[in-house]
Amino acid sequence: MTETASAVRSIRRRHPWRIQLAMHAASILVAAIFLAPLVWTVLVTFKSKAEAGLPPLPPWPVGGWSIENYRTLENFGAGLIHHTLNSLIVASATAALTIVVSTLAGYGFSRFRFPMKGAFFVVILAAMMVPFQSILTPLFLILSRLHLYNTLTGLVLIYVTLQLPFSVFMMRNAFDSVPHEIAEAARIDGARGLKLLVIVLGPLVLPGIASVGLIAFLNAWNEFLGALIFLSEQDKYTLPVLMTAVRSGRFGAIDWGAVQAGVAVMMLPCLALFLVLQRYYIRGLTAGAVK
């Protein structure tokens, strides 16, 4: 009995090359399925306009590579560059503000003792349980009242609020895991309050800040429903809203090459950021999921 068991085990451990090869083949096949749509789209964007309207077989340009589709996007709305900037401003501002607000709050919740602390923390976390899709109508009225309707600022403030439950939770945990002795030693050396936070503790919670900022950036960059409702003027559109308008034919017959060029512009920054900062993304994701 034990003999056969150990024999089985040693087979499993060593994996003869045939099994290894089969595993790799299967893995690559699955990878191809997951990556194909992404690769396909990016390749198609480099076809000429006429060719992009035909079924994408093969996906790569047959009649020569061209950036015509990206140029066409300049004719929609206020132009590709303008709308990319809108998206970039919204996403960067959301990331920056989320980092500042959640770091301050995480520090406050982790290192101070004050009445009602638990209650305030629960209120912030509760925002996670109420889907923002169910408070759209009042948000619309509040933004109008604050003169923030149809402004990127208003959109950023809402995105930051959406990020707060997860981010504050994450930053509080980051500060909790910094040994108290470090803060104590810095305090004795005369660092207090904000100075203590920025100079001494800041570098120690940097991984948390990276996760919070990265996830805020990507979520704001990709968000659609809020941008669709809270922006009314074409000039203000972020990329997802602009591209949906292009796809629905608001600018004339649907130009699939242009739509896919827009998709590539939306997609590639996400993929690049993820590949570079993978560690922080996964950390944030698992922390967020277990919240």
Partner 1 sequence: MSGSQTDDVPKGPTSPARRVRRRRRVDYAGYLYIAPAILLVVVFFVVPLVMTAWMSLHNWPLIGRIRWIGFGNYIALWNDQRFWHALGFTVYYTVWATIGLLAVGLALALFVEKPRPGIGFYRTAYFLPVVVGFASASLLWAWLSNVDSGLFSPVAQWLGLTAAPYNLLADFDAAFWSVTIMVIWKVSGFYMIILMSGLQAIPTDFYEAARIDGANYRQRFLHITLPLIRRSLVLALILSVTGSMLAFDQFYIILAGGPQNQTLTAVYWIFNQSFVSFRLGYGSALSMVLLAILLVLSLVQLQFLQSREDRR
The single residue among 16, 131, 179, 252 that binds partner 1, judged by CB under 8 A, is: 131
CB of 79 to partner 1, least distance (A): 18
Distance from C-alpha of 216 to C-alpha of 91, rounded to nearest angstrom: 7
Interface with partner 1 in residues 240-269 (CB under 8 A)? 240, 243-244, 247-248, 256, 259-260, 262-263, 266-267
Scanning 60-68, 69-77, 154-162, 204-212 for contacts with partner 1 by CB under 8 A, the matching segment is 154-162
Can residue 101 be called a binding residue for partner 1 (CB under 8 A)?
A: yes
List CB contacts of 24: < 8 A, sequence separation 6 or more: none
Q: How many CB atoms lie within 10 A of CB 290?
A: 6
Q: Are 117 and 183 in contact (CB under 8 A)?
A: no
Q: Per the structure block, which two tokens stand in for 211?
A: 């996760």
Scanning 60-68, 74-82, 94-102, 199-207 for contacts with partner 1 by CB under 8 A, the matching segment is 94-102
CB of 181 to partner 1, least distance (A): 9
CA nearest 47: which of 26, 68, 30, 78? 68
Can residue 190 be called a binding residue for partner 1 (CB under 8 A)?
A: no
The single residue among 43, 89, 96, 125 that binds partner 1, judged by CB under 8 A, is: 125
The single residue among 43, 49, 56, 204 that binds partner 1, judged by CB under 8 A, is: 56
Distance from C-alpha of 5 to C-alpha of 149, rounded to nearest angstrom: 68
User: Which 8-state DSSP code applies to residue 202?
Assistant: G
Can residue 21 be called a binding residue for partner 1 (CB under 8 A)?
A: no
Q: How far apart are the first and last CA of the chain?
A: 45
Can residue 122 be called a binding residue for partner 1 (CB under 8 A)?
A: yes
Can residue 140 be called a binding residue for partner 1 (CB under 8 A)?
A: yes
Q: Are 47 and 257 in contact (CB under 8 A)?
A: yes
Q: Which single residue is written with the structure tokens 């590709």?
A: 80
The single residue among 22, 30, 67, 182 that binds partner 1, judged by CB under 8 A, is: 30
Can residue 57 be called a binding residue for partner 1 (CB under 8 A)?
A: yes
Binding mask 192-211 for partner 1 (x = CB under 8 A): -x------------------
Q: Are 211 and 281 in contact (CB under 8 A)?
A: yes
Distance from C-alpha of 105 to C-alpha of 99, rounded to nearest angstrom: 10
The 3-state secondary structure of 47-92 reads CCHHHHCCCCCCCCCCCCCCCHHHHHHCCCCCCHHHHHHHHHHHHH
Can residue 13 be called a binding residue for partner 1 (CB under 8 A)?
A: no
The single residue among 46, 76, 109, 217 that binds partner 1, judged by CB under 8 A, is: 109
Can residue 37 be called a binding residue for partner 1 (CB under 8 A)?
A: yes
Q: Which is nearer to partner 1, 14 or 71 (CB)?
A: 14
Q: Kindly state the number of chain residues that form the binding site for partner 1, as judged by CB under 8 A.
A: 104
Scanning 60-68, 71-79, 115-123, 199-207 for contacts with partner 1 by CB under 8 A, the matching segment is 115-123
Q: Per the structure block, which two tokens stand in for 248?
A: 């629905």
Can residue 117 be called a binding residue for partner 1 (CB under 8 A)?
A: yes
Residue 289's φ and ψ, nearest 5 degrees, are: -75, -35
Can residue 48 be called a binding residue for partner 1 (CB under 8 A)?
A: no
The single residue among 85, 89, 120, 234 that binds partner 1, judged by CB under 8 A, is: 120
Q: Are 136 and 223 in contact (CB under 8 A)?
A: no
Can residue 25 be called a binding residue for partner 1 (CB under 8 A)?
A: no
